[in-house]
């Protein structure tokens, strides 16, 4: 899709400052956008990135226009305008007749080195490495790449343009590259969905458990680095980055744009809120809630609020004794009277 800035301004109800004939063919971040892409800035914290952007145009509020070195689209609600424009550049996977579709096999592999089970649907421009097995009833959409010696279990869905490395194992029912949960409210307080244009990129030697879902990025990619092990029923939201050799237990939910470091261990049923950074070598105990970034390696437990594990043990010890302490204090108060 290619749109002129005049057309984009019309779609968004924006005031255009700049060249209306400029053509835009995609969306990117302020940092990475080129002259044919559009980006957006919502607040003062993006002033430095905005001032240095090479984007062809930027969607922004009026208060930031003096910092914009390129074409500007002035709107009242930047996030809502961004939500609307994402859908203009979203690609939808076309229905495929499985009887005639073929996978594009890694050039180093023979066709017989790849096993594709019954009922699978393989999209266009798919690359599958040698010795990989795709079990029955899987859907592999357009532009997907799967590395050699990988195993894709039954009923797995890998959506468009996602990338899997070598020796990956994806267990039954997992969904890789689903639409992220991003919405913006309009003036009538109704939700407008944001189209997610990024991918999911998975490294080598990664395990994805049964019925786990990993959402594609909004603009940048969701990234799972080498050696990561993810249990069943885990939800990983858009733009999450998980460092090498981190392990995540079942029923954990990780909200969008959170970065988890290397060699971390995340227990079962942990909830991690969005836009956090967790450093390397952190252990989060089961059922904890992580509501702030963690900058120091260690063991953490967070039923209320998150603290170091040693601090939690001390607090827990006092909590179990509160009843006895209260009784003693009441006795002493009576004696004082």
CA-CA distance, 218 to 222, in Å (whole number)? 9
Judged by DSSP in three states, 188 sits in coil
H-helix segments, the chain: 5-12, 47-51, 78-86, 309-320, 322-336
Structure tokens at 88: 């203009």
So what's the pLDDT on residue 305? Answer: 66
Please give the helix or strand (H or E) that residue 218 lies within, else none.
Answer: none
| pLDDT, tens digit (0-9, with 9 covering 90-100), for 230-278 | 999 999 999 999 999 999 999 999 999 999 999 999 999 999 999 999 9
| pLDDT, tens digit (0-9, with 9 covering 90-100), for 114-161 | 889 888 889 888 999 999 999 999 999 999 999 999 999 999 999 999
309 is a catalytic site residue: no
Domain regions of the chain by residue span: 3-89
Name the pLDDT band for 10 (thresholds 50, 70, 90): very high
Catalytic site residue from 87, 196, 238, 309:
238
So what's the pLDDT on residue 107? Answer: 45
Name the pLDDT band for 94 (thresholds 50, 70, 90): low
Structure tokens at 297: 């390696």
- pLDDT for residue 110 is more than 60: no
Name the packing angle between helices 309-320 and 322-336 (round to 10°): 50
State the architecture of 3-89 in CATH terms: 3-Layer(aba) Sandwich (3.40)
Name the pLDDT band for 30 (thresholds 50, 70, 90): very high
* φ/ψ of residue 282, rounded to 5: -105, 140
DSSP letter (8 states) at residue 294: B
CA-CA distance, 175 to 323, in Å (whole number)? 48
- pLDDT for residue 25 is more than 90: yes
CA-CA distance, 260 to 262, in Å (whole number)? 7
CA-CA distance, 294 to 44, in Å (whole number)? 25
Strands 307-308 vs 298-301: parallel, antiparallel or unpaired: antiparallel
**Mean pLDDT score, 178-206:** 93
CA dist list (Å): 272 to 196, 235, 288: 21, 10, 8
Instruction: Provide the b/e sequence for 261-279 (b: ≥16 CB within 10 Å).
Output: bbebbbbbebbbeeebebb
H-helix segments, 123-254: none
């Amino acid at each position: 899709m290619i749109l002129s800035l005049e057309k984009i301004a019309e779609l968004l109800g924006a005031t255009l400052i700049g060249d209306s004939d400029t053509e835009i063919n995609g969306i990117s971040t302020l940092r990475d956008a080129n002259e044919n892409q559009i980006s957006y800035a919502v607040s003062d914290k993006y002033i430095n990135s905005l001032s240095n952007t090479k984007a062809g145009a930027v969607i922004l509020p009026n208060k930031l226009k003096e910092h914009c070195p390129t074409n500007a689209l002035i709107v009242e609600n930047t996030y809502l305008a961004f939500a609307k424009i994402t859908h203009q550049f979203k690609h939808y996977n076309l229905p495929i007749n499985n009887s005639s579709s073929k996978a594009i096999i890694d050039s180093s592999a023979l066709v017989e080195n790849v096993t594709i089970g019954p009922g699978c649907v393989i999209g266009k421009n798919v690359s599958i490495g040698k010795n990989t097995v795709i079990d029955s009833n899987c859907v592999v959409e357009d532009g997907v790449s799967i590395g050699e010696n990988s195993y894709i279990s039954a009923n797995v869905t890998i959506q468009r343009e996602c990338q899997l490395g070598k020796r990956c194992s994806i267990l039954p029912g997992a969904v890789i590259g689903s639409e992220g949960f991003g919405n913006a409210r309009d003036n009538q307080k109704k939700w407008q969905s944001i189209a997610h244009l990024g991918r999911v990129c998975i490294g080598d030697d990664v395990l994805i458990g049964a019925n786990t879902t990993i959402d594609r990025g909004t603009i940048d990619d969701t990234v799972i680095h080498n050696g990561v092990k993810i249990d069943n029923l885990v939800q990983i939201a858009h733009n999450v980055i998980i460092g090498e050799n981190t392990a995540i237990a079942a029923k954990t939910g990780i909200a969008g744009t959170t970065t988890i470091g290397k060699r971390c261990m995340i227990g079962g049923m942990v909830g991690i809120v969005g836009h956090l950074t967790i450093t390397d070598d952190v252990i989060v105990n089961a059922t904890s809630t992580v509501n702030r970034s963690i900058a120091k390696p260690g063991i953490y437990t967070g039923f209320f609020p998150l603290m170091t594990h040693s601090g939690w043990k001390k607090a827990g010890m006092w909590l179990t004794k509160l009843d006895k302490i209260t009784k003693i204090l009441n006795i002493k108060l009576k004696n004082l009277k």
